[in-house]
Amino acid sequence: MKVVFASTPDQQEKITELIRQVYSDVFPNYFSDNEIAKFERHNVLHISSSQFEQLDTLKDAFQVITSLQTLISILESDRLDEQYIETYYKNISILEQYGLYFPFEFQQFVDLKISGNNDLSIYSRAANELLV
Read off the pLDDT of residues 37-70 as tens digits, 9 standing for 90 and up: 999 999 999 988 777 777 777 888 899 999 999 9
Distance CA 14, CA 16 (A): 5
Look up residue 16 and give its amino acid: T
Task: Calculate the CA 101 to chain-centre distance.
Answer: 10
Distance CA 52, CA 64 (A): 11
- Of the CA atoms within 13 Å of residue 77, those in its CB half-sphere come to 15
Distance CA 12, CA 65 (A): 9
pLDDT interval class at 3 (50, 70, 90): low
pTM (2 d.p.): 0.84
* Bridge partner list, 6: 57
Residue 128: φ, ψ to 5°: -150, 160
CB atoms within 10 A of CB 70: 17
CA 14, 57, 84, 116 dihedral sign is negative
pLDDT interval class at 6 (50, 70, 90): low
